[in-house]
Structure 1
Amino acid sequence: MRIQRLNTSAAELHEIDQNYSRYNQKHNIFIRLFWDEEIKRLEHARQKNAEQYSKDNKPGYSKFDKAFLAGTMNFMREKIVQNIHICDQEFNAWNGEKGTKEEGMDIFTLTKAIKKAAKMYGACAVGIAPLDRRWVYSHWYDLQTRQSYPIQFSDEAPEYNRIQEPTLLENKVRVIPASMKTAIVMLFEMDPGCLKYSPTLLPYANGRFVYSEMCLTTNSLAGLIRELGYNAIPSVNCTALNIPLAIDAGLGQIGRNGKLINPYLGTRIRIAKVITDLPLDCDQPIDFGVNEFCEACRKCARKCPAGAIPSDSKVCSGMDELSNDGYLRWAIDHKKCFCYWSECGTNCNICITVCSYNRGYKWTKSILNSSKESSTLVDNLLDSLDDCGPDVFDPEASFWLNS
């Protein structure tokens, strides 16, 4: 199956219905770390287990591995959580000094230049999406007050009409100008060599380092846009949902494991974005067979040690309050997932590591093409691909001695 560009949207592809509402960031598992006692206990156990595994010199948790993790976090240290998950912090500020706006720029040329600049700043792939407000969080979480406050747009209330820049009001409501209709979405690749050692400290550390790169890249791109005289909101995991924006930006499809799958980078990616009013040409969603492939291939579900990934078909309801109702997808049990994180002392990454799309789009495409002859045969083949993807952690192999 070739990569097809679709004249549609993530909302249509995932059959958004009347039960869908904008997601309150308060319910995100990482924000729950600040107020949910159950999640706090699991996080405490996760840190304790990681420390014990390191003391025991468990493979993948050695003193050097632990030091490697510490080094990847040295750039932002204690600020990394805030700058990833909480909006308008030091490295993702909603406002900054602006240059003089130049009107009449050629949009085609500007779009190509912005994409190239984003890659030069550190992104591996870039797409442009129209900002569907349904993907913007209904509320943001304030670490100081430990409360949630609305995110609204300037055309949603008469008193906001004159707001022309991203604004935090005295009542803690954040207002985004209605002119900010575009999201520049970027993908960042995780190291496949580290991922093979999931669920140890190695891929966890690599992911942390990638996140620090994402903060730097989004901050730099926002600075470029402001110098051109336009608004820019840099964001990693704050402000809006990443995956539907990435789908709308033509960067991939969502897989059974709940991750974005890119035809060239597979699932070994992290997503960030910059929301802006800079005039740009938008990309279109793509289809390269992920739905058909994942329907037959259940490898991530079988390999998930927590049993958090479903083996059955898509549904429109979430497992619990951590996820929204009202859109079609394979529903992940996020609490089961986080319970295993607590046990292994990291963020696992096994479902990312074992995904067959990490072998490249051409490999999965050849399997899909075969399905035209015998879907049952291919389904059985896909369901038994235990050894065809990247290897999971081999305790006998040393990551640091491999060239």
Structure 2
Amino acid sequence: MKRVDERDTMFARVGYEKGTKAYEDYYRKNPDKKAIDDSIRTRPHLCSEGTMTYNALNSPMAGAAFDFLGDIKHLCEGPVNPEKVEGNTKIITKRIKGLAKKYGANLVGITELKDYHFYTHRGRHAEDYGQQVQLDHKYGIVFAVEMDKDMINRGPMIAEVIETSKCYVDAAIIGMILSYYIRSLGYEARNHMDANYLLMPVLVAKDAGLGEIGRNTILTTKEYGSRIRLGVVTTNLELEIDDPISFGLEDFCRLCKNCGLTCPSQSISNETEKETNGNLNWVIDQETCYIKWRYLGTDCGMCISSCPFSQEMESIKNIDTFEGNDALIADVLSEFRKKYGKRPFVPGNPDWLR
């Protein structure tokens, strides 16, 4: 797989301000992206006045979460205890996974890091724009935090982004505790959290056996579908690794297409299959997706709620694999559509937001 440059991601691009070094450098190299990015920057930000879902009392809840994450991102790296604590690899792996779950992780896996997991260059912040990513950590500890189903099923309303931002905080805290703990044992560790990733959590999670990548390009797990947020801690502490898993998601997504059919910006491919970045995979149009976010004022979430794996369907949970079984997939999709229509939707806010 080819490595990705973080400067090309939508979240990085929309942060480049006119007159800055990053802006001049990026659009000199990528003039084809300048017009659309300049247009996006004129739109209201997520959770801001002028967006469709804006509420003066409720919208700042998500903004507060992201402000907090920005304030703690400098803690992702820190000093390492000069005295190493030696331990059995099997036991320390058990401790790491147990600690992650104690702090709220629903799923935890470990993989040996590969070159393609990492970005080539950083792009989110002016202070490290264009910096080459060079990290020699051997292992990635990746964990998933479940997002509340009823909150996500309210997407694209404001309750959805309150939930996603809350789970970014949850994942960040878990990563902080793990990285602080590992460094106290005398080993390097770095927390990769919202707006401070050196790698792509989805790829790490796939290789660590948490799930597979679905048509919406989000990691999809058997337990929670794509209704999760991910965090990663990298380290040179020796750990036992997990194997990737397969439950036939590629075959399921090939027939399902729910996320593509319900996407309000039609940003998700409805093709049967698609090759991208040297791999068989689906793609999304990140520009049209993000433009819709800026219009809505939330990160939408409709592709998450429309995924049958994201809902509580026993016909999915009890099946080992869908690989090569089109008839079984058709039965599940029929059940889903009878129960939810195009997708589940919970109208209105929960009591505490009314």
Q: State the TM-score bracket (shorter-chain normalisation).
A: 0.7 to 0.9
Cα–Cα, structure 1 residues 282 and 377, in superposed 2: closer, same or farther, change >3 Å?
closer
Task: For 1:106 and 1:49, locate their aligned partners in 2 and report how far apart those are by CA, in whole Å.
Answer: 47
2:110 corresponds in structure 1 to 128
**Pairwise mapping of residues 34-49 of structure 1 onto structure 2 (< 5 A)?**
34-35=15-16, 38-39=36-37, 41-47=39-45
Query: Does the 8 Å contact 1:301/1:309 carry over to 2?
Result: yes
2:79 corresponds in structure 1 to 96
1:26 corresponds in structure 2 to 7
* 1:249 to partner: Cα distance: 0.6
Task: For 1:263 and 1:274, locate their aligned partners in 2 and report how far apart those are by CA, in whole Å.
Answer: 22
1:255 corresponds in structure 2 to 214
* 1:49 to partner: Cα distance: 8.3
Query: Does the 8 Å contact 1:252/1:286 carry over to 2?
Result: yes
1:75 corresponds in structure 2 to 68
Cα–Cα, structure 1 residues 147 and 378, in superposed 2: closer, same or farther, change >3 Å?
same
Which of residues 328, 350, 363 in structure 1 aligns to 2:280? 328
Task: For 2:314 and 2:292, locate their aligned partners in 1 and report how far apart those are by CA, in whole Å.
Answer: 33
Cα–Cα, structure 1 residues 354 and 113, in superposed 2: closer, same or farther, change >3 Å?
same
Cα–Cα, structure 1 residues 144 and 75, in superposed 2: closer, same or farther, change >3 Å?
closer
* Amino acid paired to 2:44: R
1:296 corresponds in structure 2 to 255
1:51 aligned onto 2:49? yes
Residues 201-210 or 379-388, more deviating: 379-388
* Amino acid paired to 1:296: L
- 1:83-114 Cα shifts (integer Å, max 9, x gaps): 6xxxxx42312x324152123x2111111111
1:381 corresponds in structure 2 to 334
* 1:66 to partner: Cα distance: 2.2
1:242 aligned onto 2:201? yes
Q: Secondary structure at the match of 1:285?
A: coil
* Amino acid paired to 1:304: C
* Amino acid paired to 2:111: A
Unaligned runs of at least 5 residues, structure 1: 1-19, 84-88, 153-175, 318-324
Residues 338-347 or 225-234, more deviating: 338-347
RMSD between superposed Cα atoms in Å: 3.0
Q: Secondary structure at the match of 1:338?
A: helix
Task: For 2:159 and 2:100, locate their aligned partners in 1 and report how far apart those are by CA, in whole Å.
Answer: 27
Query: Does the 8 Å contact 2:90/2:239 carry over to 1?
Result: yes
Which of residues 174, 180, 188 in structure 2 aligns to 1:231? 188
Query: Does the 8 Å contact 2:105/2:143 carry over to 1?
Result: yes
Query: Does the 8 Å contact 1:46/1:346 carry over to 2?
Result: no
Task: For 2:326 and 2:8, locate their aligned partners in 1 and report how far apart those are by CA, in whole Å.
Answer: 45
Cα–Cα, structure 1 residues 269 and 142, in superposed 2: closer, same or farther, change >3 Å?
closer
**Pairwise mapping of residues 4-403 of structure 1 onto structure 2 (< 5 A)?**
20-35=1-16, 38-39=36-37, 41-47=39-45, 50-52=48-50, 61-73=54-66, 75-76=68-69, 79=70, 89-93=73-77, 95-98=78-81, 100-103=83-86, 105-141=87-123, 143-145=125-127, 147-152=129-134, 176-177=135-136, 180-237=137-194, 238-317=197-276, 325-360=277-312, 362-364=314-316, 372=325, 374=327, 378=331, 381=334, 387=340, 391-394=344-347, 397-400=348-351
Query: Does the 8 Å contact 2:145/2:171 carry over to 1?
Result: yes
Greater C-alpha radius of gyration: 1
Query: Does the 8 Å contact 2:47/2:54 carry over to 1?
Result: no
1:9 corresponds in structure 2 to none
* Amino acid paired to 1:399: P
Task: For 1:119 and 1:206, locate their aligned partners in 2 and report how far apart those are by CA, in whole Å.
Answer: 19
Task: For 1:377 and 1:222, locate their aligned partners in 2 and report how far apart those are by CA, in whole Å.
Answer: 44
* 1:247 to partner: Cα distance: 0.8
Equivalent pairs, count: 334
Task: For 2:204 and 2:127, locate their aligned partners in 1 and report how far apart those are by CA, in whole Å.
Answer: 29
* Amino acid paired to 2:304: I
* 1:132 to partner: Cα distance: 1.0
Q: Secondary structure at the match of 1:188?
A: strand
Task: For 1:258 and 1:299, locate their aligned partners in 2 and report how far apart those are by CA, in whole Å.
Answer: 13
Cα–Cα, structure 1 residues 187 and 48, in superposed 2: closer, same or farther, change >3 Å?
closer
Higher fraction of helix: 2
Query: Does the 8 Å contact 2:252/2:329 carry over to 1?
Result: no
* 1:144 to partner: Cα distance: 3.5
Task: For 1:139 and 1:370, locate their aligned partners in 2 and report how far apart those are by CA, in whole Å.
Answer: 36
* 1:64 to partner: Cα distance: 3.3
Task: For 1:359 and 1:376, locate their aligned partners in 2 and report how far apart those are by CA, in whole Å.
Answer: 15
Query: Does the 8 Å contact 1:128/1:184 carry over to 2?
Result: yes
Query: Does the 8 Å contact 1:72/1:206 carry over to 2?
Result: no
Q: Secondary structure at the match of 1:341?
A: helix
* Amino acid paired to 2:266: G
Query: What is the percent sequence identity of the aligned residues?
Result: 25
Cα–Cα, structure 1 residues 191 and 40, in superposed 2: closer, same or farther, change >3 Å?
farther
Query: Does the 8 Å contact 2:44/2:50 carry over to 1?
Result: no
* Amino acid paired to 1:186: F
- 1:262-308 Cα shifts (integer Å, max 9, x gaps): 11111111111011111111000111121121111111111001001
